[in-house]
Structure 1
Amino acid sequence: MAHGIEDVAREAGVSTATVSRALRGMPNVSEATRARVEVAARRLGYRASPSAAALATGRTRTIGLLTPWINRWYFSNVIEGAERRLRAAGYDALLYSFAVSEQGRTPRVDPEVLRRRVDGILVVGLPLEPAEVAALEALGVPIVFVGTGRGDHPVVGIDDVGLARAATHYLIGLGHRRIGHITGTPDDLRSWTPPVDRRLGWASALRDVGIEVEPTWEEFGFFDIEGGTASTHRLLDRHPELTAIFVASDEMAMGALLAARERGLRVPEDVSIVGVDGHEISELVGLTTMAQPVEAQGAAAAGIMLGLIGAEPRRVEDVQGAAAFPTTLVVRRTTTAPRD
């Protein structure tokens, strides 16, 4: 005979509401009572129904993850870090991806697919329109951004302007003055996205030494190898005089390496290339890169979310503001001084 929550409550000498709170790990239950309820539940072989618990408590124990891609290195690693952190706390992740192409992003974010299904929302590297952010806010659950986001919600990421300046100044220090840039997608062109900040850092570093950036020194690479290859060809078709390229991701930088090889150019003798991320393959191909701790950012974002929804102790600094992780310049074989 299957035992229900009423049997556990009777066995433990508490109300059914206390049984629900104790087995869901919610606050306002003493440790002694929680232990008594858990012992009774194990003895009776009772397991709480997730759907019933959600109805009783208003909690789904699920966090929504919104991302443009799940098969790109940065995004998959952030998601892995977040999911691992959530699973350790007994929470699931509900994943929604929104493909980005040269025609833009479709579909737009629809908050109705998340209503009453999630306790919070992690937005991973997905640029949102103000109206989309407002629609998510209307759901009444916490929102945490990873990599890109507005400052009125917690944002976990890196100093994108600073890393771009460091990478570009490194190339300038080698003697380069004609430095191109490969960025992400047209959808990224908002004031609070990494591609915009990396472009600002690249351009400001060149202006530091009196070089005014030409708009045609920049191309969209769509954050993958194929896009990096095509964009490098377009860039060098227009400006064969470029001696270095700062690329906004390692995957696009690997595409830049392929394009250089297809054009018969030697890297780094003819063109130097610097990426961003610290992709595992970057070491294999000898790519100079600005490395960042990606999984740690996903885990940190999930930790902030767990605090905001009351699943873990809440830290004051997590309610607003940003969590910035360091980046490291890793010099390998794809950079050297220009020949001239």
Structure 2
Amino acid sequence: MTIYDVAAQSGVSISTVSLAFNNPGRVRPETLHRILDVAERLGFQRRAEAVSRAKRSHSRVGVLAPFTSYTSFALRLNGVLSGFARSPVDVVVYDHSSAAASDSPLLASLPLSGALDGLIIMGLPIADEVAERLARQRLNVVLVETERRDFSSVCVDNVGGGESVARHLLAKGHRRVAYLGEEQVSHLYRSPSEERFEGFTRELRRGGLAEADIIKLIVPHSVDGAMRAARELFDLPDRPTALFAYDDALASGVLRAAAQRGLSVPGDIAVVGFDDLDLAGALGLTTVRVPFAESGSAAAELLTAQVLHPEHSARQVSLQLALVQRETA
């Protein structure tokens, strides 16, 4: 089967089929899905990729994540590279604009490219249609920070992390608190931000706080967005005495806004982040440490085991988190 056959049966031009495989983001979603369905049904594989795959003597693994949007995924990638350091594996990196979105044209087309022996997908929800295509193509896949029963995955206990922050703030005597969450494009899946808020509020209510004592604000993932939200909170007549931010970047915006208002931290407002990146140590930020490198190396191990033993069922690995107490709370 050739690109001409795919184009003819899809009712599109050859150039559109080429775009679907080489630059899927430039093809309308409905057209892209039609082309991919036809290509899969015909068993089409791009000739150059087929020849390349036949010639190479080692494996090629893809890693798809929102690298340019979140520093934490670069740390996970370091763990992946460490996990494959002693194996004859080429690692190909694919960037995705946002972990808040639920659709990735690139992810939809990768299973049919024939370029990969395995794929690690980090922080991106997998639509049912894409999951089914991955399964039909028998591409070895491991998920990081998202879960599906039919795929192996590596996750952290975001709910438990939120609970640990709540216990810390309750022990410090805080009775009116706020949560600064990340804005997301799709609500078709439970994001880490939602999971952290779930654990946070559940533990606060166990500690006796009413719903009115817990303020939730959703902001874009940016320092400026966090600063604007923090200023809104500071202007409240009964402002919270503590704030838990989705991650360290948002927490840094809160600290900046507090400094601009002349508020002391933690005297006037206690601030807690999440991730424990280098930024947190520099700011003296109380935060939750996430084992980023370990999650990447664990994903590499799972994928290697899956390639060697495809008959084994999917495995789920959960990594524990730890609260790191510093000056801000």
TM-score, L = length of structure 2: 0.75
Mapping for residues 1-340 of structure 1, pairs under 5 Å: 54-55=53-54, 61-100=59-98, 108-114=105-111, 115-187=113-185, 189-214=187-212, 217-237=215-235, 241-310=239-308, 319-335=313-329
> In the TM superposition, what is the alpha-carbon distance from 1:236 to its structure 2 partner?
3.9
Change in CA separation of 1:246 and 1:320 when aligned onto 2, cut-off 3 Å: same
Percent identity at matched positions? 24
From the CA coordinates, give the structure whose radius of gyration is larger. 1
CA distance in structure 2 between the partners assigned to 1:73 and 1:236 by the alignment: 28
> Deviation per CA, 1:176-207, whole angstroms, max 9, x where unpaired?
11111112232364544322211110110121
* Corresponding letter in the other structure for 1:143: V
CA distance in structure 1 between the partners assigned to 2:286 and 2:181 by the alignment: 17
Change in CA separation of 1:138 and 1:278 when aligned onto 2, cut-off 3 Å: same
* Corresponding letter in the other structure for 2:143: F
> In the TM superposition, what is the alpha-carbon distance from 1:90 to its structure 2 partner?
1.9
Query: 8 Å contact 1:149–1:193 — kept in the other structure?
Result: no
> In the TM superposition, what is the alpha-carbon distance from 1:139 to its structure 2 partner?
3.0
> In the TM superposition, what is the alpha-carbon distance from 1:219 to its structure 2 partner?
2.2
The residue matched to 1:308 in structure 2 has which SS? Answer: helix
Change in CA separation of 1:133 and 1:60 when aligned onto 2, cut-off 3 Å: farther
Query: 8 Å contact 1:180–1:218 — kept in the other structure?
Result: yes
CA distance in structure 2 between the partners assigned to 1:173 and 1:222 by the alignment: 30
Task: Tell me the number of residue pairs that the alignment of Structure 1 and Structure 2 aligns.
Answer: 280
> Deviation per CA, 1:304-323, whole angstroms, max 9, x where unpaired?
1011112xx7896xx42321
CA distance in structure 2 between the partners assigned to 1:75 and 1:231 by the alignment: 25
* Corresponding letter in the other structure for 1:152: D
The residue matched to 2:273 in structure 1 has which SS? Answer: strand
* Corresponding letter in the other structure for 1:55: A
CA distance in structure 1 between the partners assigned to 2:311 and 2:271 by the alignment: 41
CA distance in structure 1 between the partners assigned to 2:70 and 2:180 by the alignment: 17
The residue matched to 1:309 in structure 2 has which SS? Answer: helix
CA distance in structure 2 between the partners assigned to 1:60 and 1:230 by the alignment: 50
CA distance in structure 2 between the partners assigned to 1:137 and 1:223 by the alignment: 32
> Deviation per CA, 1:268-287, whole angstroms, max 9, x where unpaired?
11110111111122111100
CA distance in structure 1 between the partners assigned to 2:237 and 2:146 by the alignment: 31
TM-score, L = length of structure 1: 0.73
CA distance in structure 2 between the partners assigned to 1:218 and 1:323 by the alignment: 30
CA distance in structure 1 between the partners assigned to 2:85 and 2:183 by the alignment: 32
Deviates more, 1:208-217 or 1:91-100: 208-217
Query: 8 Å contact 2:59–2:117 — kept in the other structure?
Result: yes
CA distance in structure 2 between the partners assigned to 1:157 and 1:218 by the alignment: 24
Deviates more, 1:256-265 or 1:126-135: 126-135
Query: 8 Å contact 2:102–2:126 — kept in the other structure?
Result: no
CA distance in structure 1 between the partners assigned to 2:278 and 2:142 by the alignment: 27
Query: 8 Å contact 1:182–1:248 — kept in the other structure?
Result: yes
- The equivalent of 1:25 in structure 2 is none
Supply the RMSD in Å over aligned alpha carbons.
2.9
CA distance in structure 1 between the partners assigned to 2:114 and 2:87 by the alignment: 20
* Corresponding letter in the other structure for 1:321: R
> In the TM superposition, what is the alpha-carbon distance from 1:289 to its structure 2 partner?
0.8
Change in CA separation of 1:295 and 1:223 when aligned onto 2, cut-off 3 Å: farther
> In the TM superposition, what is the alpha-carbon distance from 1:68 to its structure 2 partner?
2.3
> Deviation per CA, 1:241-272, whole angstroms, max 9, x where unpaired?
11111112112211221122122221111110
The residue matched to 1:84 in structure 2 has which SS? Answer: helix
Change in CA separation of 1:216 and 1:130 when aligned onto 2, cut-off 3 Å: farther
Deviates more, 1:209-218 or 1:111-120: 209-218
Change in CA separation of 1:150 and 1:212 when aligned onto 2, cut-off 3 Å: farther
> Deviation per CA, 1:24-78, whole angstroms, max 9, x where unpaired?
xxxxxxxxxxxxxxxxxxxxxxxxxx97572268x87211212123352211101
